[in-house]
Amino acid sequence: MEPEHPLLRHFLAALAYRTQKALRGAPGGFGEFRAAPGVRTPAEVVRHMTSVLGYARTHFVGGSYRPDALPDLAQEVARFHAMLHRLAGHLERGDVLQGTTPERLLQGPFADAMAHAGQLALLRRLAGSPVPAENFIVADIDAAILGPDQPPPVAPDPEWPLPLLGERPHAAPAVAFAIEPMLPADWPAVRAIYADGIATGHATFQTEAHEWEAWDAGHLATPCLVARVAEAVAGWAALSSVSSRCVYGGVAEVSLYVGAAWRGRGVGSGLLAALIEASEQAGLWTLQAGIFPENGASLALFGKHGFRVVGVRERLGQMTFGPLAGSWRDVVLLERRSA
């Protein structure tokens, strides 16, 4: 047996662990989730992982390998783990590599497959179901465990989900609030919450909050909502038209912002649910939203309320402020069609 083979076997076990980590607890239908046209679904990603590992195996057995598509994600995953077992068997027996070296096997197909395990985790986030964090350096990874039944995390992140966009790092209790129509007198509080969201650098390309007249002119008169905790405005939600053409009269874009003190306490979810209900009562049939991929909290919130990812608009705009000033940024486009 080559001295590198035990390390390669451990790498395959780590690949099995990381793949199941990305798939464990995935929402129904995740296997067919397509983040954007031309982007592989999770089932297609797993099939590609099997393909590159099958290519690696040809350096032991010769020939070529190109797997056909299987009916669903579960069958693709089963075939992937079977391929891991076959490869590990060659390494354990000390079979001779043909036409390559252990180092090139690692830097090529093995590394490629691990990169795609990370892609599965990214697709989970885009699907509104991010993968919980853990410290992988202490994970219970065993070279003999290559199947789908992987051990639980040894050191899960105690602060998961990670705070995003100024959220407090520890869970906060839910708060009682009332959803009411926005009034012109609410504008100072609404503007302050908007400015706070802008300052995060992950809410909008907008650089500053306009005055009331300009903001009001750019949004539909109804529904336009605030969440009140006692007398304080804790968050707001509004809609804007996407087009002046009558055929798009029932399509609107969502804006939703929650004050830093009230994030993670149910305010955003309550506002979005009320906005959806009010939009349907107003005769709107489709709501859409554009969210930066880094804004996992908002992606999860909208996914919870029935929005689906339509695609990713790549390098849509260039940031002009904050730590990402000068960067071209992607925007995830989501939509919700009323029944």
Domain boundaries, the chain: 5-138, 178-337
CA 121 to centroid of chain Cα atoms = 8
Separation of alpha carbons 77 and 138, rounded Å = 25
3-state per-residue secondary structure call for 190-240:
HHHHHHHHHHHCCCCCCCCCCCHHHHHHCCCCCCEEEEEECCEEEEEEEEE
Q: Are 302 and 334 in contact (CB under 8 A)?
A: yes
Which amino acid is residue 16, in one-letter code?
A
Give residue-wise pLDDT tens across range 258-274.
998 888 888 999 999 99
Question: DSSP 3-state assignment of 87?
Answer: helix
pLDDT for 159? 53
pLDDT for 225? 96
Give residue-wise pLDDT tens across range 104-128.
999 999 999 999 999 999 998 887 7
**Range from 45-49, 76-80, 100-104, 150-154 carrying the lowest mean pLDDT:** 150-154
Mean pLDDT for 171-192 is 87
pLDDT for 160? 52
* Position 167 confidence tier, pLDDT thresholds 50, 70, 90: very low
**Directed axis angle between helix 111-126 and helix 42-61, to 10°?**
170
Is 60 exceeded by the pLDDT of residue 169? Answer: no
**Measured CA distances, 161 to 128, 204, 298, 320 (Å):** 13, 22, 13, 29
- Residue 303, both tokens: 């996914």
Mean pLDDT for 62-83 is 96
β-strand 286-291 against 251-258: which pairing, if any?
parallel
CATH of 178-337, one of 3.30.565.10, 3.30.70.2470, 3.40.630.30, 2.30.42.10: 3.40.630.30
Is 50 exceeded by the pLDDT of residue 165? Answer: no
Residue pointed to by tokens 């999860």: 300
Is 80 exceeded by the pLDDT of residue 172? Answer: no
Separation of alpha carbons 51 and 73, rounded Å = 15
- What percentage of the chain carries pLDDT values higher than 70? 95
Is 90 exceeded by the pLDDT of residue 190? Answer: yes
Phi, psi of 195 (to 5 degrees): -65, -35
Is 70 exceeded by the pLDDT of residue 254? Answer: yes
* Position 173 confidence tier, pLDDT thresholds 50, 70, 90: low
* Position 17 confidence tier, pLDDT thresholds 50, 70, 90: very high
Give residue-wise pLDDT tens across range 220-248.
998 999 999 988 999 999 999 999 898 99
Starting at the earlier edge strand, list the strands of the sheet with 328-337.
178-181, 224-229, 232-241, 251-258, 286-291, 328-337, 308-318
CATH class of 5-138: mainly alpha
Is 80 exceeded by the pLDDT of residue 129? Answer: no
- What percentage of the chain carries pLDDT values higher than 90? 67
Mean pLDDT of the chain: 90
**Is the fold of 5-138 the same as that of 178-337?**
no
* Position 90 confidence tier, pLDDT thresholds 50, 70, 90: very high
Query: Is the pTM of the predicted complex or chain greater than 0.85?
Result: no
pLDDT for 264? 82
Is 50 exceeded by the pLDDT of residue 29? Answer: yes
